[in-house]
Structure 1
Amino acid sequence: MKTASATIKNFTWSLAIADFKELTKVRLAVSVVFSSIAGYFLGAYEVDYVAVLLLAFGGYCMVGASNAYNQIIEKDLDALMQRTKSRPIPAGRMSTKYALSVAIVLTILGVVSLYFLNPKTALFGAISIFLYTSVYTPLKTKTPLSVFVGAIPGAIPFMLGWVAATNDFGIEPGTLFMIQFFWQFPHFWALGWMLDEDYKKGGFKMLPTGKKDTGTVLQIILYTIWMIVISIMPVFGFTGRLQLSVVAAVIIFLMGIAMLLFAFKLYENRDNKSARRLMLASVSYITLMQIVFVMDKFSETLF
């Protein structure tokens, strides 16, 4: 571990920015902001770009705070794993006290920014931080059910955008929540499969059966099927203002089938390469699916 004086002596702004990005997991935070904005566009009658900026800023702060709290709590476990030992805290580049200060500031900025949109949005944002930090994080070393708990705050962003636009929670944001909720299981279990050996060094129990076995892959397949079903439900007119054209639903269905094929490939091969391909396919699916939903709403001629 580096001493505090050495850390200060070697301080550079580029390193500080890089460490802030790693502490807040900038790529994950940006993807969450993207989901929130997609949800906003789906719910908005008229787009208010000031509201979009508040949602983006507040969303990043909330995700960044959650990740910072997570890394503070897991600093000793992160030091044991290859993929996390170079993070700012276990590597000694950032003190726990400083990271906690960043997390608290981000929490306050995030809640206040989302409150300017409406109180419900701020409430859901605060709930996501609490569940991720106080429930999901400590459960990761105790039970594979932690993934189920973690899927709840992970599914909030897509619906959060709708609530930010409408100040209302009903079947529409509930459907958006369920889409992203079911998506997370194949995504994180594919990631857990890839990193199983490293996760075990930190004592994390991420796979549903605890092993890279048939039971885990069958659950990945099952949750992928449910994800596809929920994703195309709006085409049947059961989900209020959240609707899909037939062509958009077919496109989303085919994208889901493509992801399902990657899941079957993992069942066939049982290797990290197949798990990685499934993980990447899941990232492509959630992004493209949200784009299709938004484009379907705003372009009558596209589909």
Structure 2
Amino acid sequence: MNSTTVIENKASIKSFLSDLKQLTKVGLSLSVVFSSIAGYLLAVDRVNYTTLSLLAIGGFLMVGASNVFNQIIEKDTDALMKRTMNRPLPTGRMSVGFAFFIAISFTILGLAILYSINAKSALFGAISIFLYTCAYTPLKSVTPLTVFVGAFPGAIPFMLGWVAATDQFGIEAGFLFMIQFFWQFPHFWAIGWLQFEEYKKAGFSMLPMNRKDRGAIKQILFYTSIMILVSVAPVFKVTGAFYIYPLTAVIVVLLGFVMLYYAYQLYKTQDNKEARKLMLSSVLYITVVQIVYVVDKFLH
């Protein structure tokens, strides 16, 4: 084998791995795994590293599968948008058949791993893949309510960690679900605002009433406020075994106010720059809140 062949082989392997990374949306999948781990740590007194590893791998495969199914369904619309036109399927770098094989493999393996933790974890994993693939993705071109539908699978990971640790779905897991559920509205509507023209090309309805106006921002302000209230509820000890110190609640409120501030700035200016700040502050919010909850838990 000459050196040119070796270089070409290395380049093609690198290109394939890059395509696989895009297809499974590795960054997004890892952020979901982060949420699941945070949910697990909130539920346990002693960490079982085997369970934690299984949760991380199973969760990653579950989200990866959902993302691949999503890209198979949206292959033609992805080709219309600048942000997505260079993905492996619209460019033809990868076949739909091969992508489907990956999606099915990830689904079976991911759910089997979650089942090895407990049956409830596998059930919620299956519900998440089903809703994301069969409800959220097809509804994007039909109704703005797609964001509401998509918030259900999107809110499962944080809760999944608690279920994996306890084999229980009670008020604690319910609140973890609600925190991530309400967070998704400002987050995805900020993205919907930024990508409005692109989504329009693909025929996607991603803003309330599918209009880029102050009405949509009022909804963002409303759901951000609900998110903050749900996030601080554990300080009042109304959420079972899951509760937080007052100082933690103050940090959560301050982080929420950062989001509210950018949402209000967006209301005043209707400028994409403010929508981007809102989107970034929402990512900061969900990441830091989960970290702060876990730190708080281990200070109890």
Pairwise TM-score range, normalised by the shorter structure: over 0.9
- Secondary structure at 1:266 match in 2: helix
- Mapped to 2, the partners of 1:107 and 1:258 lie a distance apart of 37
Deviation at residue 214 of structure 1 after TM alignment? 1.0
- Mapped to 1, the partners of 2:124 and 2:44 lie a distance apart of 18
- Counterparts of residues 1-20 of structure 1 (less than 5 Å): 12-20=12-20
- Secondary structure at 1:82 match in 2: coil
Give the aligned partner of residue 281 of structure 1.
Answer: 281
Deviation at residue 299 of structure 1 after TM alignment? 2.3
Deviation at residue 186 of structure 1 after TM alignment? 0.1
Give the aligned partner of residue 136 of structure 1.
Answer: 136
Give the aligned partner of residue 190 of structure 1.
Answer: 190
- Mapped to 1, the partners of 2:120 and 2:15 lie a distance apart of 37
Q: Deviations over 1:66-120 (max 9, x none)?
A: 0000000010010011100000000111000000000000001100110011000
- Mapped to 2, the partners of 1:128 and 1:267 lie a distance apart of 33
Deviation at residue 258 of structure 1 after TM alignment? 1.1
- Secondary structure at 2:84 match in 1: coil
- Secondary structure at 1:12 match in 2: helix
Tell me which amino acid in the other structure corresponds to 2:49: Y
- Mapped to 2, the partners of 1:34 and 1:268 lie a distance apart of 34
Deviation at residue 11 of structure 1 after TM alignment? 7.0
Tell me which amino acid in the other structure corresponds to 1:51: T
Give the aligned partner of residue 231 of structure 2.
Answer: 231
- Mapped to 1, the partners of 2:10 and 2:249 lie a distance apart of 54
Q: Deviations over 1:116-140 (max 9, x none)?
A: 1100000000000000000111000
Deviation at residue 45 of structure 1 after TM alignment? 2.9
Deviation at residue 209 of structure 1 after TM alignment? 2.0
- Mapped to 2, the partners of 1:285 and 1:67 lie a distance apart of 23
- Counterparts of residues 1-303 of structure 1 (less than 5 Å): 12-300=12-300
Deviation at residue 296 of structure 1 after TM alignment? 0.1
TM-score normalised to the size of structure 1? 0.95
TM-score normalised to the size of structure 2? 0.96
Unaligned runs of 5+ in 1: 1-7
Q: Deviations over 1:51-73 (max 9, x none)?
A: 11100000000000000000000
Tell me which amino acid in the other structure corresponds to 1:162: W
- Secondary structure at 2:88 match in 1: coil
- Mapped to 1, the partners of 2:76 and 2:160 lie a distance apart of 33
Q: What root-mean-square deviation, in Å, do the aligned CA atoms of Structure 1 and Structure 2 show?
A: 1.2
- Secondary structure at 1:89 match in 2: helix
- Secondary structure at 2:297 match in 1: helix
- Mapped to 2, the partners of 1:250 and 1:181 lie a distance apart of 21
Deviation at residue 9 of structure 1 after TM alignment? 9.1
Q: Deviations over 1:240-282 (max 9, x none)?
A: 0010001111111111111110110110110111100000000
- Mapped to 1, the partners of 2:10 and 2:109 lie a distance apart of 29
Tell me which amino acid in the other structure corresponds to 1:136: Y
- Mapped to 1, the partners of 2:10 and 2:120 lie a distance apart of 43
- Mapped to 2, the partners of 1:191 and 1:68 lie a distance apart of 20
- Mapped to 2, the partners of 1:107 and 1:136 lie a distance apart of 17
- Mapped to 2, the partners of 1:210 and 1:73 lie a distance apart of 21
- Mapped to 2, the partners of 1:31 and 1:10 lie a distance apart of 29
- Mapped to 2, the partners of 1:222 and 1:288 lie a distance apart of 21
Give the aligned partner of residue 4 of structure 2.
Answer: none
Runs of 4+ aligned residues of structure 1 deviating over 3 Å after TM superposition are: 8-11
Deviation at residue 197 of structure 1 after TM alignment? 0.3
Tell me which amino acid in the other structure corresponds to 1:129: I
